[in-house]
């Protein structure tokens, strides 16, 4: 019995090692203009009437992970319409070194599962406010593939497109490609290690950025 348990643990251990190795090799694969780090802590709480409350606090560093870029507080309320379909209203308060922005969004997502694989599609409209500036409206479309590897490890890959709300249908403002691992570490606690390659400001001055992230979350 002990040997069987050891064999079950082995693939999970190997997966984590390979994930960390890829994580360290990314800077050599992409000759990006900058490297950033995103670290966050968050929680979620299920409420009556199919509602769910989520909160996240995040810190982002830029300039080769050496200087402050922004921090934000994000709170959202979502409603489960039926299995797989959820609508969500997030609000974000963003603090930069020299300015403050606020963002209000509305999104809908659908998840289709055929174990051990989950497919998820999300579309989001977001409006960002800044004093003495015009609002910035974007449509975001994200597709994710998640794979349940045992009971505690879930690797994933995703792609996301950003379109100006009032722009041409084919016009892109930004795109992101991401992969990572979500690992359950204790009851109702998890850590996500992830990498994002993003190309932003496509219409003006395209900038390629590597993002290395770590997120801790728990259910309350």
| Each residue's pLDDT tens digit, 99-134 | 999 999 999 999 999 989 999 999 999 999 999 899
Q: What are phi and psi of 200, to 5 degrees?
A: -120, 170
Which helix (H) or strand (E) segment holds residue 130: the answer is strand 117-130
Which helix (H) or strand (E) segment holds residue 19: the answer is helix 2-29
Residue 180's pLDDT band (cuts 50, 70, 90): very high
Residue 187's pLDDT band (cuts 50, 70, 90): confident
Structural domains present in the chain: 2-219 (2.40.160.40)
Does the pLDDT value for residue 49 go beyond 90? yes
Q: Is 49 left (phi over 0), alpha (psi -120 to 50) or beta?
A: left
For the chain, give the mean pLDDT. Answer: 88
CA separation for the pair 215, 156 (Å, rounded): 14
Neighbours of 173 (CB within 10 A): 19
pTM: 0.84
Counts for the chain of helices (H) and strands (E), in that order: 1, 11
């Amino acid at each position: 019995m002990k040997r069987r348990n050891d064999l079950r643990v082995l693939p999970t251990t190997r997966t984590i090692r390979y994930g960390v190795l890829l994580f360290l090799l990314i800077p050599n694969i992409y000759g990006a203009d900058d490297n950033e780090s995103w670290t966050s802590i968050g929680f979620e709480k299920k409420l009556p009437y199919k509602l769910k409350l989520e909160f996240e606090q995040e810190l982002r560093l830029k300039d080769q992970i050496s200087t402050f870029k922004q921090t934000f507080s994000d709170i959202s309320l979502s409603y489960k319409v039926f299995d797989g379909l959820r609508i969500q209203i997030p609000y974000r308060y963003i603090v930069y070194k020299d300015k403050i922005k606020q963002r209000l969004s509305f999104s809908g997502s659908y998840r289709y599962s055929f174990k051990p694989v989950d497919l998820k599609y999300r579309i989001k409209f977001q409006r960002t406010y800044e004093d003495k500036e015009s609002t910035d409206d974007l449509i975001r479309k994200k597709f994710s593939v998640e794979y349940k590897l045992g009971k505690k490890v879930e690797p994933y890959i995703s792609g996301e497109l950003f379109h100006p709300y009032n722009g041409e249908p084919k016009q892109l403002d930004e795109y992101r490609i991401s992969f990572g691992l979500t690992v359950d570490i204790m009851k109702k606690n998890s850590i996500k290690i992830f990498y994002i390659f993003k190309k932003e400001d496509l219409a003006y001055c395209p900038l390629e950025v590597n993002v290395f992230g770590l997120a801790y979350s728990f259910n309350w």
